[in-house]
């Protein structure tokens, strides 16, 4: 869309709320817009409609989002081979080409990790610092696929050591196995690093586990780390508007009508989901002790609402929360390092940890 058209749209939109809207709509009377029905409980029934890609996306991202929605419609492409969803394979190949890293298999506190270091060396100021990555994958997979995609760009671009944790997942393991594993790795790293020099971050299940780990540390005598990143995730429930935006806009399918019963949920089977160790959002006291927290999402991410709600609650509790949302992008969009928006997100992540680690 040319800029003049876009800016014309601005003014229409600015006028949308006020009296002129009546006039604007009257001009379109020959083709009346189909009605949205507002029910008494506030549910809106929306007629079938077409939604284009976000006008704010880069050309590369436009191709990326189109491809992603089509891939999400193919059940074969979301299957995992050795912990790597098929549609993510090409992102992993690109990371291997782009980022010169040394990867070591390391056991830390008895837990398996991959430890990445940039071949060009760790920067002077980052020698005293380390990042722990907790990978996405619904607590039931995506090791090592998601772990590598979340760790490699950050280790290389920030010139820092990143330890990504092969924490225990469902359905074979149950809560709190993953929290225990994160605590074991953290305790081991505390022998070398000060807590204020350790950052923890993750996307999706890994973002949720980052929040859960903070609650776990608080209740198990461990110090709070210097800063954390909760990406494409919440410190509690997801839900909200994002369910109804992200699936049709970002995944090419309708939202699930009936979530299966909790007993089917693998890792959290038998768990009291109200427990603040699972959902720190349920405890204002625990939230208030969060360190500086970076929150990242996109408007087509099914975790958007949970992410922004976490920002709102942390802010209310006096925590230094920093939120950034990318328009038109979906859950875990930055797994593709070639897209300019992913590079912007990496820069935000790196700047955040650089500003917030080691400052206590």
Q: Does 12 bind a second copy (CB under 8 A)?
A: yes
Distance CA 129, CA 163 (A): 11
We find the least distance from the C-beta atom of residue 278 to a second copy, in angstroms, to be: 7
Give the C-alpha separation, 108 to 261, whole Å: 36
234 binds a second copy (CB under 8 A): yes
Q: Which is nearer to a second copy, 91 or 193 (CB)?
A: 91
The verdict on 359 binding a second copy (CB under 8 A) reads no
CB of 109 to a second copy, least distance (A): 25
Strand 101-108 with 80-81, pairing = unpaired
Pick 11 or 120: Cβ nearer a second copy? 11
Binding status of residue 174 toward a second copy by CB under 8 A: no
Stretch that binds a second copy, among 67-75, 123-131, 151-159, 176-184 (CB under 8 A): 67-75
Decide: is 55 part of the binding site for a second copy (CB under 8 A). Answer: yes
Nearer to a second copy, 72 or 101 (CB): 72
Between the CA of residue 66 and those of 71, 185, 252, 295, 331, what are the distances in Å?
Answer: 9, 39, 9, 25, 14
Which residues touch 199 (CB under 8 Å, ≥6 apart)?
129, 130, 131, 132, 225, 226, 227, 228, 229, 353, 356, 357
Q: Please, is 242 exposed, middle or buried when counting C-beta atoms within 10 Å of its C-beta (0-12, 13-18, 19+)?
A: buried
CB of 15 to a second copy, least distance (A): 4
Judged by CB under 8 A, the chain residues 72 through 131 that form the site for a second copy are: 72-73, 75, 78-80, 85
Contacts for 225 with CB less than 8 Å, ≥ 6 apart: 132, 186, 195, 196, 198, 199, 200, 214, 217, 291
Q: Which listed residue (101, 126, 131, 137) binds a second copy by CB under 8 A? A: 137
213 to 232: interface string for a second copy, x by CB under 8 A: --------------------
Name the DSSP letter for residue 223: P
Q: Is 157 exposed, middle or buried (0-12, 13-18, 19+ CB in 10 A)?
A: middle
Q: Which stretch binds a second copy (CB under 8 A): 37-45, 93-101, 109-117, 154-162?
A: 37-45
Residues 6+ apart with CB under 8 A from 159: 118, 120, 121, 122, 123, 126
Site for a second copy in 265-284 (CB under 8 A): 265-268, 273-274, 278-279, 282
Q: How far is CA 105 from CA 112, 113, 177, 202, 271, in A?
A: 7, 6, 20, 19, 32
311 touches a second copy (CB under 8 A): yes
- Closest approach, Cβ 202 to a second copy, in A, equals 11
Site for a second copy in 191-210 (CB under 8 A): 204-205, 208
User: What is the DSSP code (8-state) at residue 158?
Assistant: H
CA dihedral 229, 234, 236, 238 (to 10 degrees): -170
Residue 136 in contact with a second copy, rule: CB under 8 A = yes
Q: Could you say which residues in the range 237-256 bind a second copy, by CB under 8 A?
A: 237-245, 247-249, 251-256
Q: Which of 220, 347, 359, 360 binds a second copy (CB under 8 A)?
A: 347
In the region spanning residues 316 to 335, those forming contacts with a second copy, defined by CB under 8 A, are: 316, 322-328, 331-332
Of the ranges 104-112, 115-123, 136-144, 154-162, which one interacts with a second copy (CB under 8 A)? Answer: 136-144
Binds a second copy by CB under 8 A, chosen from 91, 217, 300, 357? 300
């Amino acid at each position: 869309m040319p800029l003049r058209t876009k800016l014309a749209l601005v003014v229409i939109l600015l006028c949308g709320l006020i009296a002129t809207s009546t006039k604007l709509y009257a001009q379109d009377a020959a083709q009346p817009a189909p009605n949205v029905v507002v029910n008494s409980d506030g549910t809106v029934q929306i007629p079938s409609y077409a939604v284009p890609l976000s006008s704010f996306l880069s050309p590369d991202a436009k191709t990326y989002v189109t491809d992603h929605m089509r891939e999400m419609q193919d059940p074969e492409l979301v299957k995992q081979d050795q912990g790597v969803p098929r549609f993510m394979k090409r992102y992993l190949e690109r990371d291997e080409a782009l980022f010169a890293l040394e990867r070591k298999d390391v056991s830390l506190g008895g837990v398996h990790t991959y430890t990445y270091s940039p071949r060009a060396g760790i920067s002077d100021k980052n020698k005293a610092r380390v990042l722990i990555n907790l990978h996405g994958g619904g607590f039931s997979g995506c090791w090592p696929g998601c772990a590598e995609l979340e760790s490699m760009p950050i280790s290389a671009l920030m010139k820092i050591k990143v330890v990504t944790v092969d924490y225990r997942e469902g359905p074979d393991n149950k809560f709190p196995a993953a929290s225990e594993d994160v605590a074991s790795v953290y305790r081991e790293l505390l022998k070398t690093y000060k807590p204020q020099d350790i950052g923890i971050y993750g996307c999706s299940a890994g973002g949720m586990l980052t929040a859960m780990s903070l609650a776990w540390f608080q209740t198990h005598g461990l110090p709070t780390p210097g800063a954390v990143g909760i990406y494409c995730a919440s410190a509690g429930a997801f839900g909200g508007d994002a369910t109804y935006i992200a699936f049709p806009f970002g995944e090419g399918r309708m939202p699930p009508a009936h979530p299966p019963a909790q007993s089917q949920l693998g890792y959290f089977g038998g768990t009291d989901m109200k427990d603040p160790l699972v959902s720190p959002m349920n405890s204002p006291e625990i939230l208030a002790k969060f360190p500086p927290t970076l929150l990242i999402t996109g408007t087509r991410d099914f975790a958007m609402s949970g992410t922004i709600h976490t920002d709102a609650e942390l802010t209310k509790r006096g925590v230094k929360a920093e939120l950034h949302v990318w328009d038109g992008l979906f859950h875990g969009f930055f797994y593709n390092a070639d897209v300019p928006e992913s590079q912007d997100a990496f820069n935000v992540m790196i700047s955040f940890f650089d500003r917030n680690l080691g400052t206590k």
